[in-house]
């Protein structure tokens, strides 16, 4: 298949690498040197102009926000052939994505939202969980490409449903991370050994990905490697709150998580999402270690 990939960041770069191994791939990145590096490393072809993707059967976007995707779709959509498919792997906003999809569909380009979960490790391994929104037919047409980076592909509903599920998933991650941080800060201040507490919690009912992986690997170690940035998590929380509000659900815990991580973003800027716990630590006067 002729595939185009737009957005070679932490996630997109390795995802596109898997596509290059199976399909005829043209890559485009806002910073062109990254596309050139990808072409050299993965034998893809680097386009320095979006028009270089006009003949693609499938176009993939993996950008920070739906607004970024919408802007690119406005430029590239009119150049694509009828019958092509746009696969949006961005963690996006269902409302904005539906507007983008409508404009693409009017031009005969199908749209599938296909955000991913599994982080940079899953992207490198090609084992991401993909949640798809769109028609079964369109998802099936995109499947040979999506399979390149997926360990699991689940259709969760119509256009926008993938983005909604992704936002809620990440809101759950945020709640688990922050609440585990509060609990462990309290234990540390009370004189309990954090590593021993985590050993117990991770063999008990309070465990989560935050306690099993994120807090030991990133917070207790003080490494805080920036592989999933705090601005992106704050964006996802805003989308999740929007999904809940539109559905008429009183999601006050999600709203509080959005507020806490939003404050951390104001104080810390562009750091790894786990570094948000530093704000909690500063306020409590203790380190989770």
Q: Which residues bind ligand NDP (CB under 6 A)?
A: 7-12, 29-31, 34, 62-64, 68, 90-91, 116-117, 119-120, 227-228, 232
Count Cα atoms within 13 angstroms, Cβ side, for 104. Answer: 31
For residue 203, the minimal CB distance to ligand NDP (Å) is 27
Q: How far apart are CA 26 and CA 161, in angstroms?
A: 28
**Residue facing ligand NDP at closest CB distance:** 9
**Smallest distance from ligand NDP to CB 248, Å:** 26
Give min distance, CB of 30 to ligand NDP, in A: 3
Given a contact cutoff of 8 angstroms between Cβ atoms, the answer to whether 288 and 274 are in contact is: no
114 and 58 Cβ atoms separated by less than 8 Å: no
Q: Could you tell me the end-to-end alpha-carbon distance of the chain, in angstroms, rounded to an integer? A: 49
Residues designated catalytic: 166
Residue nearer to ligand NDP on the CB measure, 64 or 183: 64
Q: How far is the CB of 121 from ligand NDP (least distance, A)?
A: 9
Q: Please give the Cα distance from 17 to 40 (Å, whole number).
A: 11
Kindly tell me which of 41 and 140 has the beta carbon lying closer to ligand NDP: 41
For ligand NDP, which is the closer residue by CB, 30 or 267? 30
CA torsion 14-3-85-246 (nearest 10°) is 20
Interstrand relation of 116-117 and 128-133 (parallel, antiparallel or unpaired) = antiparallel
Residue 123 Cα distances to 23, 115, 159, 166, angstroms: 17, 12, 23, 16
For the bound state, the minimum distance from the C-beta of residue 206 to ligand NDP, rounded and expressed in Å, comes to 24
CB nearer to ligand NDP: pick between 13 and 178: 13
105 or 120: CB nearest ligand NDP: 120
Q: Check residue 31 and report its DSSP letter.
A: S
Cα–Cα distance for residue pair 63/29, rounded to 1 Å: 10
What minimum distance in Å lies between the beta carbon of 7 and ligand NDP? 4
Beta carbon nearer to ligand NDP, 199 or 270: 270
Residue 6: which residues within 8 A CB-CB, separation 6 or more? 12, 27, 28, 29, 50, 53, 59, 60, 61, 62, 63, 72, 76
CB 174 within 8 A of CB 233: yes
């Amino acid at each position: 298949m002729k595939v185009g990939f737009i957005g070679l960041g932490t996630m997109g770069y390795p995802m596109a690498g898997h596509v290059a191994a199976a399909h005829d791939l043209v890559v485009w990145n806002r910073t062109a040197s990254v596309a050139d590096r990808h072409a050299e490393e993965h034998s893809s072809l680097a386009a320095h102009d979006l028009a270089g993707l006009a003949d693609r059967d499938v176009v993939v976007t993996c950008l920070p926000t739906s607004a970024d995707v919408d802007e690119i779709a406005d430029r590239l959509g009119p150049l694509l052939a009828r019958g092509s498919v746009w696969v949006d792997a961005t963690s996006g906003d269902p409302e904005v994505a539906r507007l983008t999809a409508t404009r693409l569909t009017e031009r005969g380009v199908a749209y599938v939202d296909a955000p991913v979960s599994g982080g940079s490790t899953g992207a490198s391994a090609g084992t991401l969980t993909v949640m798809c929104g769109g028609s079964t037919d369109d998802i099936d047409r995109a499947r040979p490409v999506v399979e390149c980076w997926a360990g699991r592909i689940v259709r969760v509903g119509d256009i926008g449903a993938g983005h909604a599920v992704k936002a809620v998933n990440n809101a759950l991650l945020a709640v688990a991370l922050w609440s585990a941080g509060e609990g462990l800060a309290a234990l540390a201040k009370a004189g309990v050994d954090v590593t021993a507490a985590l050993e117990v919690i991770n063999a008990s009912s309070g465990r989560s990905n935050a306690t099993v992986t994120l807090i030991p690997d990133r917070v207790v170690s003080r490494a805080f490697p920036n592989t999933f940035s705090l601005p992106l998590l704050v964006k996802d929380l805003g989308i999740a709150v929007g999904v809940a509000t539109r559905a008429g659900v009183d999601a006050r815990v999600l709203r509080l998580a959005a507020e806490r991580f939003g404050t951390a973003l104001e104080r810390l800027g562009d750091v790894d999402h786990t570094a948000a716990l530093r704000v909690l630590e500063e306020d409590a006067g203790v380190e989770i270690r």
